Amino acid sequence: MRIIILGPPGAGKGTQAKRVSNRLGLPHFSTGSLLRKAVSNNTLLGKIAKSYMSEGELVPNPIIIDLIEEEIEKHKDKEGFILDGFPRNVAQAQKLDEYLEHGGKQLDIIVNLEIDEETIIERIKGRLSCPKCGKVYNTKNGYYERVCENCGTKLEQREDDSEETVRNRMKVYLEETFILVDYYQKKGILQSISGRGSPDEVFERILALID
Ligand code: AP5
């Protein structure tokens, strides 16, 4: 199955994509996580991406498209994937369609998480991430320990989670990404669900769609 989890910043895309990936045994590709890893390893990609990410702007399409195609190629023996954070604009969506069509494949379902801005801000304000393994926590979900339960690393707030950058990320989402709801609706593969409620509740809604 080839699944995309779509939604605004902080909607829970990463949280749900990981759960779906574990449940279906499919690889999970998150462009945001891949870029953060590159930034933390100070690679050439990371150096280029850092300035865009810290402003909440999109990293240029050619870089992102190469990055994601490379990841999909690495796992081409698998029966699909879960994408989160990609595509982010129509040009990326078209490139993905072309790439899949070339291999005689297609997307199966786009899960669009609908959520209000107030909930987004609350979730992002409480988010803590492990800079080493990438595990994501939230103080609002009762996690107050300052170290990662997986690897013991001190948790950090993401650099792009400052109020000003989150505002710009929301603006970029509305200007460039929201149009994808229409793009996939026209293809008849979009399913919108509420992203509100607990992570378990949202996961149940997604499973009901996938089943
Ligand atoms: P990216 O990392 O993709 O950021 P984003 O889309 O803004 O999404 P987030 O990671 O903020 O949120 P999420 O929806 O995954 O929510 P999460 O599950 O963490 O991208 C970062 C940057 O990289 C971009 O700004 C851009 O610069 C660049 N980039 C990435 N992809 C790109 C692309 N394709 N093209 C160009 N540039 C690109 O949840 C949020 C918090 O809420 C967490 O703390 C979580 O624990 C909590 N939470 C989740 N679900 C629930 C729930 N149901 N109830 C309560 N709490 C919850």
Q: What is the pLDDT of residues 148-173, one digit of tens each?
A: 999 999 999 999 999 899 999 999 99
Q: 169 an active-site residue? A: yes
pLDDT category at 211 given cuts 50, 70, 90 is confident
Q: Is the CB of 199 under 6 A from ligand 1?
A: yes
Tell whether omega for the bond before 87 is within 30 degrees of 0, i.e. cis.
yes
pLDDT of 40-58, one tens digit each?
999 999 999 999 999 999 9
Neighbours of 26 (CB within 10 A): 19
pTM of the full structure: 0.95
pLDDT tens for 180-197 read 999 999 999 999 999 999
Active site residue 19: no
CA distance 24 to 95: 25
Please, what sign has the CA dihedral across residues 9, 33, 127, 156?
negative
Angle between helices 163-172 and 117-126 (to 10 degrees): 140
Cβ proximity of 45 and 53 under 8 Å: no
CB 15 less than 6 A from any atom of ligand 1: yes
pLDDT value at residue 45: 95
Query: Can you state the angle between helices 61-74 and 90-102, rounded to 10 degrees?
Result: 30
> Is 31 touching ligand 1 by the criterion CB < 6 Å?
yes
Catalytic residue, candidates 13, 18, 50, 123 = 13
